[in-house]
Structure 1
Amino acid sequence: GALAIPQLPVAKYPVVAPPQVEVYAVYPGASAQTLDESVVSLIEQELNGTDGLLYFESQSSLGSASITATFKPGTDPEMAQVDVQNRLKTVESRLPQAVIQQGLQVEKISSGFLMLVTLTASKDSNLDEVALSDYLARNVMNEIKRVEGVGKAQLYGAERAMRIWINPQKLIGFNLTTTDVNNAIASQNAQVAAGSIGDLPGSKTQEITATVLVKGQLSSPQEFADIVLRANPDGSTVRIGDVARVEIGSQEYQYGTRLNGKSASAFSVKLAPEANALSTGNLIRAKMDELSRYFPAGVEYSIPYDTTPFVKVSITKVIYTLVEAMILVFAVMYLFLQNMRYTLIPTLVVPVALMGTFATMLVMGFSINVLTMFGMVLAIGILVDDAIVVVENVERIMVSEGLSPRDATRKAMTQISGAIIGITLVLVAVFIPMAFMPGSVGIIYQQFSVSMATSILFSAFLALSLTPALCATLLKPIAKGEHHAKGGFFGWFNRKFEHLSQGYEHWVVHLIKRSGRYLLLYGALLVVLVVLFARLPSSFLPVEDQGYIITDIQLPPGASQNRTIKVAEQIEAHNASEPGIGNTTMILGFSFSGNGQNAALAFTTLEDWSERGAKDSASAIAKHGVGPFGDG
């Protein structure tokens, strides 16, 4: 069990979302409608009938489209990805050539971002946003994708590329078309395999051999500008530089990034299914620290959005609660048993049962999350019950019959073994049905119920094996009929507890004599309980302050990026004046509602929980933002 703990994934909740596989297609220059008709519809038709497929959804924007296929819970993500790739092979021949050249990306993903990493340059640096994106694409992205636990790393930018901006009027004036430009570039910017001199078979007098190197591909804007489009009979030529402006720019301008109002470049990371969120986050940070040593002068990275601190805090709080519960259980047992040896036996049993539960969780593919840890916290009180029953029965037999600890343990186990097994089966029967609930709710309660049932089963097993062994070896013999009168604090506690017990007995007798009126009171309490339960708000999971706010920005169709930037600047200015807010990262061109110039997504990271009060909670800050922007 101890060896299983480091191998268990760590997450806030179990993986509730069903497995998803994303297909990403790029069609440079194509409109959303063209992509939908020539690419997306064909892929969607082919995905129909995929094993375990629940549904699929697609988003098309200028130049790119994504299709997300969602599978039934329990489907193996690896096999789902392979199945999707096999089906794409049958449809590739019907896709546009430009899409095939760019390639179809197929990745298994999880819903939600793990973190967002940005790259910024100081004022003294001569690197702009395009240069930062190019550096990320060439030197960072591949390293991050190889990090264990990373499901998808998406760059909100692009590599540098040779941009040829055609002037339509000049092109028409020379009686040329864009097809002529494409053909000229393809024919004059080609990698040529020129062969070699003196290769075999050769003459007997051949002394040397050499490889012929031919410069086929062009590398500078001037070389592209000199590409000949047409040679006239009079010896004159029309070149690309005559009809277009050639420069080195970005491969695409779909996305943009702003960090606290300043230009930056960024990429997001999504967790792979069943991956360890904390471990993956730590590995990414370590990798970025390693890569940052080779960054150009004036360039630095930051992680303005990170979900792992909340996961870490949540699990840490539950672990503290688990430790506190064990301490309280130990204190209560010592208070009532009033003997360190008697108390030590149940205390030793609890960690062993929990370790067995961790080992079972690893075998079943569970994770360390709030629900499994919560199940263990609840199970602690149940775990000690079986051990206490064994210890008290052994002590009773030693006092009443004067037997040795070893003989008293043997006799005690013949008396209570059946009772322990019966109690265990009843408790397991209470929790196990929750593991068979269907849908996402069943997934949430499955790990909770199974961890509880496993802990209880291990407790019963230990009560029949380890606890008797400890009783036979640790307990001291007691003379027959020996009195255990206590003085001091324990004597005072026993007298007070006896007095309290007698008072409770008198109250129960009084209650039984007037059962009618108390049954009416009980019925009234049940009615009040039902009314209050019906009025309680309901939700799939509790709404918590996770330390960040995500704002989806969607302008009217056709709105340019300039209008989107103005809205982004207003949000940035509002966040800068709002107490409790740390960083504001704006992704232009991307949102949960779709991609395009009219879309953006804001990641607002809040200050640490210790530095914020109730007035600066995530929900309060979000409500403050509804006023200025809710009607926009």
Structure 2
Amino acid sequence: MTDTPSTENRPTAAELERDRRDALRLKITRRKLGPSGRLGRAFLDSKLTPLIIVASLLLGAFAIMVTPSEEEPQINVPMIDVLVGYPGASAEEVEYRVITPLEKLLYEIENVEYIYSTSSPSGGMIIVRFLVGTDPDQAALRVHTKIQSAADEMPPGATQPIVKPRTIDDVPSVAYTLWGEEADGQELRRVADELKVELTRHPRVAQVSVIGGQRRAARVDFDTQKLSAFNVSILQAYQAIESFNWRLPAGSTSVADQEITVDVGQFLTSAADVAQVIVGVYGGKPIYLKDVATINDATEEPADYVWLGTGPAAPEKGLKRAGIDRPAVTLAVAKKPGTNAVDMVSDLDRYVDRLKGPVIPSNINVLKTRDYGATAKEKSNELLHHLLSATIAVVLLMWVTLSRREAAVVVVVIPVTLALTLAASYFFGYTLNRISLFALVFSIGILVDDAIVVVENIHRHFKLKWGEPHQVTTYALDEVGNPTILATFAIISALMPLAFVRGLMGPYMRPIPINASAAMLFSLAVAFTISPWLALRLFRKEFDGEEKASDDEIEFVTEEGRISR
């Protein structure tokens, strides 16, 4: 007779499950927590974690609002123009006696990369280009000091060299074109000169250039026979005109509690004033300029021309009709370094509107013919939209391939990481341009890797149900912490060499490795702090629900007295 094993001595399903969990718990918790596990455990129940999420998003929004928007990155390439005159000398003489010695002298300056020169009759120009990244103020100071040190070696008759720095910010950010149906070039130029004075006062404007139009001038046509008859030379007449055209402050006086400034002399304001200039004495009588020349109120010889012509698309630009063909004058406005071009152009638009009437007469129209702020804003907004589209695509991919809980974590992780990266980019001194924003679009695909690895491993451990949720989350994070750190720094080590490229392409492309590496570091920090905090709260309900279902099943089996899994 054989003995049948009693069902009372066989372990129940609940006992088997409990033993499995205990064994798994003992195996996992046997190892010591690493830095990632300890960091995640510190933030699991911390009240600072949600505050960090909100603060990061607000910091990113602030960075977007205050960071200047530009089309291209700022490249610091100092270029110095050196202008020198040598009246009466030929181009060959200017090159041999002035330009070549100055070139040799300027090549002695540190960080000079290239020198270009142009020689022409009576003068020449040298362009000194420094290495990328050289301080522009230091470059201009070095050039000026070097030239002054050799001032005594300049040939007799040569003028004092003029040192004029050039930077990328000298390129106009906005241009306003003045034109009118009845206005001529002289009137447009007069209004443009007045408008230039007003625009220069704006705190964000570096310089304003007036292009086109003709300035008012007195035209003097000398009669050589009369000059000989009165024994007056042209040089004598020129010096006489120059001596009459001056005005200097002579002090001030107080009258009736008012301070009155006293000036001596006056400027010549009309052709009649010029005609009354005394150019000499003959036979005991003064010789006036009108006695030896013909004076007309005219305009100066134009150095450049601006003309406004319109086609069929004129109404789309705010013009009344097509077929306009009128002279015009353009004011080109350059911004100060570090100024937000979008904000400056918006301020100037409102400022110009306020000047219509007090400065700009009603018969003159203002047309904005260049708007760097609008193009920069368009490019940055376009890339921000691509950034949003890429984020949505990644979230949808997580939803489809994993689950809605993993997608919910990615919804929070990506904006927080991008917000912190934008804030870091602002503090690094970068602007919002197509290169820096492209770096963020490029890094979206890799910055979610850390969060996905961490969250998916936490989810796997929740499915095993070997411990309580806090313990499971901590050890699941610690299990993949070191590989995640290694993978992150492997990507950073592959990107960072690009930041040390020399030449013009170095600073142009530098925002890509810098911003992408910053995004990877922030994604690692977020994966170790915010991702476990979110995963615990999203997966705990699922964990609690499965635990309850499992307990109900075990109780049912026990009451029936048989094992059925």
Note whether the superposition's TM-score is higher than 0.5: yes
Structure 2 vs 1, CA of residues 250 and 105 (structure 1 numbering), >3 Å: closer, same or farther? farther
Letter matched to residue 228 of structure 1: I
Q: Distance in 2 between matches of 1:145 and 1:34?
A: 40
Residue 130, structure 1, aligned to residue 156, structure 2: no
Q: Distance in 2 between matches of 1:213 and 1:378?
A: 66
Asked if the contact 1:257–1:263 (Cα under 8 Å) also holds between the matched residues in 2, the reply is yes
Displacement of 1:447: 0.9
Residue 362, structure 1, aligned to residue 442, structure 2: no
Structure 2 counterpart of 1:73 = 132
Q: Distance in 2 between matches of 1:62 and 1:159?
A: 26
Structure 1 counterpart of 2:209 = 154
Asked if the contact 2:91–2:123 (Cα under 8 Å) also holds between the matched residues in 1, the reply is no
Displacement of 1:279: 3.1
Letter matched to residue 128 of structure 1: D
Partner of 1:11: helix, strand, or coil?
A: coil
Structure 2 counterpart of 1:257 = 306
Displacement of 1:367: 1.7
Structure 2 counterpart of 1:457 = 521
Structure 2 counterpart of 1:576 = none
Q: Which of residues 198, 201, 209 is equivalent to 1:143?
A: 198
Asked if the contact 2:230–2:282 (Cα under 8 Å) also holds between the matched residues in 1, the reply is no
Partner of 1:256: helix, strand, or coil?
A: coil
Q: Which of residues 241, 256, 269 is equivalent to 2:290?
A: 241
Structure 2 counterpart of 1:577 = none
Q: Which of residues 426, 431, 434 is equivalent to 2:490?
A: 426
Structure 2 vs 1, CA of residues 402 and 477 (structure 1 numbering), >3 Å: closer, same or farther? farther
Residue 442, structure 1, aligned to residue 506, structure 2: yes
Q: Distance in 1 between matches of 2:336 and 2:251?
A: 46
Structure 2 vs 1, CA of residues 440 and 210 (structure 1 numbering), >3 Å: closer, same or farther? closer
Structure 2 vs 1, CA of residues 66 and 399 (structure 1 numbering), >3 Å: closer, same or farther? same
Q: Which of residues 157, 160, 180 is equivalent to 2:236?
A: 180
Structure 1 counterpart of 2:366 = 301
Any unmatched runs of 5+ in structure 1? Answer: 199-208, 484-632
Letter matched to residue 415 of structure 1: E
Residue 337, structure 1, aligned to residue 392, structure 2: no
Structure number with higher relative contact order (C-alpha < 8 Å, ≥ 6 residues apart): 2
Alignment of 1:317-356 (within 5 A): 317-339=382-404, 341-356=405-420
Residue 472, structure 1, aligned to residue 536, structure 2: yes
Partner of 2:72: helix, strand, or coil?
A: coil
Structure 2 counterpart of 1:585 = none
Displacement of 1:347: 1.5
Structure 1 counterpart of 2:174 = 115
Q: Deviations over 1:9-56 (max 9, x none)?
A: 2222223472334456799x9899599579877875664433433234
Structure 2 vs 1, CA of residues 258 and 351 (structure 1 numbering), >3 Å: closer, same or farther? same
Structure 2 vs 1, CA of residues 428 and 7 (structure 1 numbering), >3 Å: closer, same or farther? same
Letter matched to residue 197 of structure 2: N
Structure 2 vs 1, CA of residues 118 and 194 (structure 1 numbering), >3 Å: closer, same or farther? closer
Structure 2 counterpart of 1:615 = none
Asked if the contact 1:130–1:250 (Cα under 8 Å) also holds between the matched residues in 2, the reply is yes
Asked if the contact 2:280–2:287 (Cα under 8 Å) also holds between the matched residues in 1, the reply is yes
Asked if the contact 1:35–1:65 (Cα under 8 Å) also holds between the matched residues in 2, the reply is no
Q: Distance in 2 between matches of 1:171 and 1:34?
A: 35
Partner of 2:394: helix, strand, or coil?
A: helix
Q: Deviations over 1:221-259 (max 9, x none)?
A: 2222122222222x4443211232334444553222211
Letter matched to residue 400 of structure 1: L
Partner of 1:10: helix, strand, or coil?
A: coil
Asked if the contact 2:271–2:295 (Cα under 8 Å) also holds between the matched residues in 1, the reply is yes
Displacement of 1:273: 4.5
Partner of 1:388: helix, strand, or coil?
A: helix
Residue 230, structure 1, aligned to residue 280, structure 2: yes
Q: Deviations over 1:244-297 (max 9, x none)?
A: 233444455322221114211123234555543333333333332233342123
Q: CA RMSD in A?
A: 4.0
Q: Distance in 2 between matches of 1:347 and 1:377?
A: 16
Q: Deviations over 1:374-425 (max 9, x none)?
A: 1211211212221111111111111113433311111102211001101101
Structure 2 vs 1, CA of residues 419 and 215 (structure 1 numbering), >3 Å: closer, same or farther? closer
Displacement of 1:82: 4.0
Structure 2 counterpart of 1:400 = 464
Q: Percent identity?
A: 26
Asked if the contact 2:94–2:121 (Cα under 8 Å) also holds between the matched residues in 1, the reply is no
Structure 2 vs 1, CA of residues 60 and 352 (structure 1 numbering), >3 Å: closer, same or farther? farther
Q: Distance in 2 between matches of 1:42 and 1:73?
A: 25
Asked if the contact 1:109–1:271 (Cα under 8 Å) also holds between the matched residues in 2, the reply is no
Structure 2 vs 1, CA of residues 217 and 396 (structure 1 numbering), >3 Å: closer, same or farther? closer
Structure 2 vs 1, CA of residues 7 and 184 (structure 1 numbering), >3 Å: closer, same or farther? same
Q: Deviations over 1:74-117 (max 9, x none)?
A: 112233344445556667896999977x9875554447543332
Asked if the contact 1:24–1:106 (Cα under 8 Å) also holds between the matched residues in 2, the reply is no
Q: Distance in 1 between matches of 2:429 and 2:155?
A: 39
Asked if the contact 2:76–2:133 (Cα under 8 Å) also holds between the matched residues in 1, the reply is no
Q: Distance in 1 between matches of 2:252 and 2:408?
A: 84
Q: Deviations over 1:410-462 (max 9, x none)?
A: 11022110011011011112211111122122223211111111111111111
Q: Distance in 1 between matches of 2:144 and 2:123?
A: 18
Q: Distance in 2 between matches of 1:216 and 1:344?
A: 78
Any unmatched runs of 5+ in structure 2? Answer: 1-58, 310-324, 548-565
Structure 1 counterpart of 2:39 = none
Q: Distance in 2 between matches of 1:35 and 1:276?
A: 46
Bigger Rg over Cα: 2
Displacement of 1:145: 3.5
Q: Which of residues 58, 66, 76 is equivalent to 1:7?
A: 66
Displacement of 1:73: 0.9
Partner of 1:278: helix, strand, or coil?
A: helix
Q: Distance in 2 between matches of 1:108 and 1:453?
A: 29
Letter matched to residue 314 of structure 1: K
Asked if the contact 2:82–2:162 (Cα under 8 Å) also holds between the matched residues in 1, the reply is no
Structure 1 counterpart of 2:380 = 315
Displacement of 1:300: 1.8
Residue 171, structure 1, aligned to residue 224, structure 2: no
Structure 2 vs 1, CA of residues 304 and 193 (structure 1 numbering), >3 Å: closer, same or farther? closer
Asked if the contact 1:17–1:440 (Cα under 8 Å) also holds between the matched residues in 2, the reply is no
Partner of 1:263: helix, strand, or coil?
A: strand
Structure 2 vs 1, CA of residues 342 and 105 (structure 1 numbering), >3 Å: closer, same or farther? closer
Structure 1 counterpart of 2:4 = none
Structure 2 vs 1, CA of residues 214 and 347 (structure 1 numbering), >3 Å: closer, same or farther? closer
Structure 2 counterpart of 1:373 = 437
Letter matched to residue 361 of structure 2: P
Partner of 1:297: helix, strand, or coil?
A: coil
Q: Distance in 2 between matches of 1:478 and 1:359?
A: 36
Structure 1 counterpart of 2:560 = none
Asked if the contact 1:110–1:273 (Cα under 8 Å) also holds between the matched residues in 2, the reply is yes
Alignment of 1:609-628 (within 5 A): none
Displacement of 1:361: 1.1
Letter matched to residue 114 of structure 2: Y
Asked if the contact 2:410–2:451 (Cα under 8 Å) also holds between the matched residues in 1, the reply is yes
Partner of 1:179: helix, strand, or coil?
A: helix
Letter matched to residue 328 of structure 2: A
Q: Distance in 2 between matches of 1:175 and 1:390?
A: 99
Alignment of 1:454-533 (within 5 A): 454-479=518-543, 482=546
Structure 2 counterpart of 1:220 = 270
Answer with 265-274 or 90-99: which moved more. Answer: 90-99
Q: Distance in 2 between matches of 1:163 and 1:173?
A: 22
